[in-house]
Structure formats: structure tokens, C-alpha cells
Chain A
Amino acid sequence: MVELMLTLVLQRLLWSLLVFALVAVVIFVLLELLPGDAATAYLGRTATPARTAQLRERLGLDRPAVVRFAAWTSGVLRGDFGTSLARRAPVATFLWVRLRNSLLLGLLATLISVPLALLLGVLAGLTRDRWPDLLLSLLALFSISLPEFVIGTLLIFSFSLHFTLLPAVTLVDAAAPLAELLPYTVLPTATLTLMLSGYLLSLMRTSIIDALRSEHVQMARLKGLPPLRVLLWHALPGALAPVVTASAMIIAWIIGNLVVVEAVFNYPGIGTLALNAIQDRDLPMVQAIVLVLAGCHLLINLLADLLTLALNPQLRTLRMR
């Protein structure tokens, strides 16, 4: 049993690594296919043949693509993502600190929204078509349909301008200690939480309603079990499995939306970094950010896979026979 689980986990891990390697190749090839290269992109209108050639030589762009890919990957493996063109410093120095800030945001939002949404979703499912359910479903609908910049702006308007309780934009340096950064995370976290919770709540609600209608829950009731035991032992585990898978997808999707949320609050995360890098046409930086975000995606999905495996004995024991 333990061995089986271990093989399954290892298998998933290997797959994730393989996909990650593939992503690296795809990013590199895509950038190769773009007209021009890092040098022409960076210099833009100021490009003269001489300056372009000079920059190319400095960046090593005159080498064949295969050699450059090998150099890039070996650098990435050592934690060296090359040099930022706009900031004239190693990409890694910006990347990790910004990633830390974004992860803080994502982690806070996940830790608050997932338990909250699951709890409220179960509550809505249990009080189906009565007022708690109607209220919660309506709220969820609102948060799903409002775009993140509207939510963010509304929050700024009410909590920073109307009541001056919280800062509207981040005023500290990206590399500031977490404790200093914390007050500035409140509103962005709230925005992300609202967005995440809406989907998860409605998902959990449907899932628990289905579970409560299932024959095995009816059977548990007919065995004379107390309602709480029926809910916790017979209905919830099965109802959670699809929600866990979906929540991973939603959280991964939120990573993409970090760009917008961070931009609204001018929060020094990887999203604003990406935005700047694109504006500066800083290709080494863009390349590194895309790779790191893809890695986050894969990691979250891997975790979700493992959680689903733990929640669903049918998948866990499939290979036993």
C-alpha cells in the first residue's frame, strides 16, 4: 500500500518535471520565432546596425540557437537566469524577491478563501433554497461576475478613500521585510479572496447537494446515524474530491490574474515585474518570469493531484488488482 502510493507520487513528480522541461523548450522556441531578437527588441527605434551588433555580441546572441539554449538551461539549473537588459543586473536578484511577495499574496488569499468558501458552500448546500443559501449564492454570483480591477477599485474607494483605514498603493520597496509589507497586502488579498471564493463556493454547494441526494447518504440516514456523522463521514469526503481538483485549477488561474491585481494596488510582486519587463521589452526577464509562473502552475496541479488521490480510494487502489 505504502509502496504503491510512493510509486504513484513519484510517477506524478516525474511527469511534472517532464512537462516543465517541455515548457522551457517551448518558451525558448517561441521567442526564437519572434521577428528580431533580444537586442533589436530592447533597442527598438534607437537601434543602429553598430549598436545592435555590439549588444548582440555582449549578450552572446551571435551564437547558434542550440548553443544558446544549452547555455540558458545550464544557467537556469544553477539559478542564473541571465542579465536583465533594462535593469543591468542579474534577473535572479529581482525575480526571487518579487516571487516571494506574490507568493505571500497568493498564500494568504488561498488560506483564507479555500476554508471560507468550502464552509460557506456546505452551509449553502445544507440550507438549499432557503435564505442563507440565497444570500450566499447571490454574493458568489457577484464576485464571479465582477472583474478584478472593479473589485479592487471598489475596495480602494471604500477602505482607503472613504474610510482611510488601509493604504491604497504599496509605498515600500520590493525587498522590504515581510512585516513591513504586510499592511499593503490586505486589500490585494481581499480582492483575490473574493474572486476565488465565489467560484469555490458555488462548486462546493453543487457538490454537497449532489452528495446529499446520493443513495449512500440516504442509506446512512436510514441506518439512524446522527446528521453530523452523515455529513462528515458519508457526504463530505466524496463531495470534496471534485472541489479540490477545481480549486487547484482556479488558484493556478489566479496566478495569471496577479498581474492585474498587483497593477491596481501597485504591489511589488511578480505581476508588476512582468508588466514592466514587457513594457521594457526585456526578453531575458520575460523568459524567466514565464518559466517561473509555469513552474508554479505545475506545482499547484501536482499538489491537487496528490490531494485527489488521498481523497479518492478508488484511484488509490486502482492498480492493486
Chain B
Amino acid sequence: MNACSLQIDQLSLGYRTQSGQVLPVVRAVSLTLGAGETLGLVGESGCGKSTLGMALLGHLRSGNALLGGRVLVGGADVFQLERGALARLRGQQVAFVPQNASQALTPTMRLGAQATEALTLHLGMDLVAAQRQVLDLFERLRLPQAAALLRRYPHELSGGQQQRVVLAMALVRRPAWLILDEPTTGLDVITQAHVLQLLQTITREQGTGMLYISHDLEVVAQVSARVAVMYAGELVEVAPVAMLFADPNHPYTSGLLAALPHVSGQRLPAPIPGQPPALHEISPTCAFAPRCSFVTRQCHAHAPPLGPSAGPLGLAEPLLPGTVPAASIHLVRCHHAQHVATVRSSARANGAGPPALPPSSQTATHEPLLVLHEVRVSYARPSLIERVRRIPAAPATVDNLSLVVHRGETLALVGESGSGKTTLLRAIAGLKAVEAGRMSFGATDLMRSVDQRPHEVRRAIQIVFQNPDASLNPRQTIAQILAQPLRLYFGLTSARCRERAGALLERVRLAPYYLERFPGQLSGGEKQRVAIARAFAAEPELVLCDEVISALDVSVQSAVLELLNALQAEQRVAYLFITHNLAVVRAIADRVAVLYHGRLCEVGPVAGLAEPPWHPYTATLLGATGVLAAATRPMLARDRADPAPPARGCPFQRRCPHHLGPICDEESPPWQELVTGRRICCHLKL
């Protein structure tokens, strides 16, 4: 075999249960990665992609067993290697970058020791030389104060910095292949864009091959030449990036692409019905058949093979190995691949696809519902000593924020983590005291905590949290969970409660038998539907949505968005929708407010967001989402977020690529109104 390739050959991994049953996690996967080749591996959570990734280093997760097949690195089977050789393989040839850098760094070791140990052990380098190499990479990865960093402990770094340290730790060994398991999933869009860019530059230079594992098709497309799509432990489609995006042949791939919210088109992404099968439910024939709209009897009778697609490379003659370069072959596992491709291309020709409804504009009005005026929320509590010594308090988390949510509209609040989005939401919900400013809901004053607000207002403002696992009581059945608001706000009897709860479930597209289930028995998407049903049980006028889809899988995300839209059309409810994803904003919101460090940068209709001018921060966000062409993508002056907002001037002053000088540092920028109705808070002449 080729000495410098990484070859996965019919690899099957799985669990053996105590009853002797075999539950496959990875099923007969074959893939070849040439030297310096970049391959993206895409799939939803639980599809076996991480298990596959670690198997390439000869590592099986606890409980997993090798059921068949092999992994050849440079001709040697990693599962047959003796201990020393396997350690050398991991140290020198194949390096792993984990998803969760904060967990993957040893908390009791200094970063320098962690980053150099593999070098000194495997490459026989002396410590000074190893440190120099690590330092060099730290600097190239734009880590601040690289030299001091060697003596730091992991917890002293931000998430983005930790991720870069982990990346440096892998890259410094100059491995032939890098296995990256969702390396940027925990990061902010802006940090993610930076890390991806640096990763690409360095791997290209070192000639490193990459297997980039992610659930995010767009990220994968940015960094890899080829993409493999995995579903229920199987590869369902493998193709060069451009080909896969232009001409997906598998219904699952096609569905994933349609499920992506897209910044450029204002329409709702289309969900894939159903959900991925659990390990013991995987059908031996086509695993995707239960969710597929192209399904025929053939799909249930015969397992489709992974074969060349009917794309431009043609199926006219049987494909001989070596006739076509491996990198340009398009493989697909579907009986109806050709049909899928033609249906999609004709749909595109007709400009169809999911309905391009300008979402919820039918219900949006100009009647103010929630009004915030110069609101300030702060967590700072000066201690007695600080008060006596007159040390100025830290700037407030949210300050001088004025915002109106109209009846029936969706206002998206966008910003990075730590920008005060959730703080503001908690203040509106009455869970956090507001220090200054005014806040009103209709005619009611909102400047008091939730337990002092009128019953009617408490009913009218509901909240849906990011993580349904944490917001639903695991010891209550769905019926009990839904009965709570019904009894509290409407005083319904038990029988009436059940009836209403059933009706509510129906409205969030869940069957009535879910009433008897516990949250633990539901999938993530179903749980979030229950959380939404609970909010709507109160018949609210305003629903606060805190990153409600970011914990969900792509194919399920769009279903939840669609549900929210449908409920809004039925009930004229207003949403304050918190998100960090601009693409989602385009799909669901009427207006958008961009928040940086708890201060507003820009407010206005979503439609106007497509064209400049933007606030410099909005422009960076758009750039990181991949909307702007790479050449015009603005780079931040500093890619590290500040721990606290500045006391004076523009909140974005320290990272702004268009910084004008002292005026930005000293004076609060003025609000400028554009013709499109957008308002931007900046000193720049727009």
C-alpha cells in the first residue's frame, strides 16, 4: 500500500452488550487520506464520527471494541502495533485535537510542560529547543504574551486561547496527519474564524494532512478539500467540497444543506423530519430510510452500497481503481441518488425550495410592547474598602441600552458570549435588578423583580432557556411540567389541565403519548419543544428565547425555528430572540440589535443588513460568518475579547479595525440613522 497515506479499511467499531448483542457505532467505513490531504467528516451528534476519529490513533473509547477492519498508517495497522510503536505513532505521525480544550488540558500542569513533553519524549529534543518551537507556534497562533504563557496554568486562559494552545501542542510535533474533533465548536464566531484561518495557513505550510470532524458543514467546507458525510455509523456520501455543495446526491446531505440557515437568503431553513436512530434501532438496510422522502420498497429490502455517483464523472463505465484521482471521486450510498440529484437541480431551477416567506412580517406591528430606556444592569458590588477609598466601580455589564420590542415582531439580539445578552434577558424577566433607566411592558412598569410584578405581566412574559436538559425538571412527566403554568395562570382543574396540555403538545408537533414521558426519555429537539410548549401554555405576549437552538443538531434546529415562526403567526406573540448566529437572524427576525459588551452598536430591520455600511463590529461578525468575500473580511485589531467593557467612549474601541484616535476612547459615539431605517452608533462617517 501507499507508504504515506492514512487508510481506513472496512472499519467497524461498536459495543458488546452484556446479553452478547453487538451495537455498531461505526459500520464498515473505508476512507483514504493522502499526504497533506484535507478531509472533512460531517455528521450529527451520535453518528460515530468522534469514535472513528480516535480510532485512527488506535484509541477506543471505554466499552468500545474493534469489530472488524483496520486502520493503516504508512502501511502499518494501528490496532496491531505494540505499545511502543503505537506511542511513537501518536507522538510523531498522527496528532489529535480535541473538542473541549478546557477539559483536555491537565489543570495541574503548566502549559509549557504540557506542550513540550511530547517533543522531548518522542523527538528527543532538549527542553530549550522544544520551548523555542512551542513559543514560535504560540506566536504564530497569535497568542498574547507567548513567553509568559509557558509558565501559566490552563485555567488562566480564555476558551479561545486554550483551544489555540491545544492546537499548538499538536502542530508542534509536525505530524503527518491532524485529527481534529470539533476543534472550534465551543468558540465564538469571530475567534473561530481566526483559528480556522491560522490552522489552514500552518497546515498548508507544514504539508499536514487533516481529518476535520464537525457537525457544521460550513466550517468543514472552509478548511477541507473533500467532505465525507456520516449517518448512523456509515459513510453516506464522499465528494470534493464544491461538488457536494453544488450537487448532493444523498437525501441526507441534501437535507443537511437545506437545513443550514443562510445569511444571504431570507428564508426559513428546511428541517429533516424525524431524528437520527438510536444505536439499537439502526436498520440493517438503509439507515436513513425512516426519515427519507425518496423512500421506496427497495430501500427497506436491500442495503444500498457506497458507489460512484451519477455525477459528471459518469457511471457509464465501471470505475477502475487508478483511472480517476481519488480526490475527485464522488461516492454515494443511495438507491435513488440520481433521482435525488435531478429533483434538487430542477427545484433549484424553479427557484423553489422551502417557501421564501418573509418571516412573521404578517404579525409585526408598530405598537410598542416592551420599552427599555437607558437601562443599566451591573454585577459589580463595591466592597466597603473600595467604597471608602473611592475606587471607581467596574463598568456596568449592560449600560445605556434603549430598545423597543413591538407587538408581534421578532427582535434578534446578537453578540458574542459575554456581551450581556443573557444578563439583559434576566433583567427583562425580573430575575436581575436593573440599576438605572426605565423599563415598561405595555402600560406596566417593569422596574421590579418578578415576584412583585402583577400576575398578568408575569403571565405575558415567558422565557425559553438554552438548555432544555437544565430547564425541565427530570422528575416530572411532561404532563406535570405543562400543568404548572396552566394551574398557576388559569386555575384549571386537573382534567382540564390534561386536555390543554395535550392540545399544547399537538401545537408543538408532539404526539399526545408524550404526556406520560419524562424529559430524560426525549431527544434534545423534543425537549426544547416541550420547553416552548410550557412557555406558550401561559398564552404569552412576549417570549424571551435564550439561544434556544444552539444546543441542538442542525437538522433539528430548523424544525424548532419553523415551529417558533408558526406559533407566532397563530398567536401574534413577540419574540426577543438571543443568538450569536447571524445566519439564524436572517431566517427568523424582523429587526436585529447588535450588542457589544452590553452596549448597543446597531439596531434596524434585518433586510438592511445585506448591504453596507455596517458598524465595524457588525462587519466583523458578518465576516466571521463567511458572508463577505475573504478579501474584504475585516480583521480585528485585537482578536482577544476584553474581560470588561471600557469605562468611557465606544465599547468596541480596543478591537476596532477603524479606530479613529482619542475620540473613540473618550467620547460616546453618536447614533446615525440610515435610509434603510437602521441606526448605527459610531464616530465613523457612514
* A residues with CB within 8 A of B: 213-226, 229, 233-234, 237-238, 311-314, 317, 320-321
Contact = CB atoms under 8 A, between A and B. Distances in A.
21 contacts: A216-B107, A218-B59, A219-B98, A219-B105, A221-B90, A222-B90, A223-B169, A224-B86, A224-B89, A224-B122, A225-B117, A229-B117, A233-B106, A233-B117, A234-B109, A238-B108, A311-B108, A313-B153, A314-B153, A320-B156, A321-B156
Given A221-B90, A222-B96, A238-B107, 5 more contacts: A222-B59, A222-B98, A233-B109, A317-B156, A320-B156
Interface string B103-124: 1111111000100011001100
Interface in B139-171: 153, 155-156, 166, 169
Interface residues of B, number: 32
Contacts of B90: 221-224
B54 interface: yes
Nearest to B54: A222
Contact of A225 (B95, B107, B118): B118
Nearest to B84: A226
B88 interface: yes
B134 to A, nearest CB: 13
B98 A223 contact: no
Interface in B2-60: 54, 57, 59
A321 B157 CA distance: 11
B275 interface: no
Contact of B87 (A226, A238, A311, A313): A226
Interface in B601-626: none
Closest 4 CB pairs of A and B: A224-B90, A224-B91, A237-B108, A215-B103
Given A224-B122, A225-B118, A215 B100 contact: yes
Q: Which of A214, A224, A226, A312 has the most CB of B within 10 A?
A: A224
Contacts of B452: none
B108 A219 contact: no
B62 interface: yes
A213 B95 CA distance: 20
A215 B61 CA distance: 11
Contacts of A213: 62
A8 to B, nearest CB: 16
Nearest to B179: A222
Interface in B415-471: none
Nearest to A221: B59
Given A213-B62, A224-B90, A225-B118, A238 B106 contact: yes
Given A215-B103, A223-B90, A224-B89, A314 B155 contact: yes
A215 to B, nearest CB: 4
A224 B156 CA distance: 26
A320 B157 CA distance: 13
A215 B100 CA distance: 8
Contacts of A320: 156
A226 B121 CA distance: 9
A123 B95 CA distance: 30
Contacts of A229: 117, 121
Contacts of A311: 108
A204 B104 CA distance: 22
Contacts of B108: 237-238, 311-313
Contacts of B89: 224
A214 B103 contact: yes
A226 B117 CA distance: 11
Contact of B106 (A216, A222, A312, A317): A216
A223 B118 contact: yes
Contact of B103 (A216, A234, A321): A216
Contacts of A222: 54, 57, 59, 90, 96, 98
A217 B59 CA distance: 13
B104 A216 contact: yes
Nearest to B152: A317
A225 B62 CA distance: 18
Nearest to B93: A224
Contacts of B88: 224
Contacts of B113: 233
Contacts of B62: 213
A229 B113 CA distance: 12
A234 B153 contact: no
Contacts of B122: 224
A243 to B, nearest CB: 14
A64 B291 CA distance: 88
Contacts of B100: 215
Nearest to A314: B155
Nearest to A222: B96
B117 A219 contact: no
B155 A219 contact: no
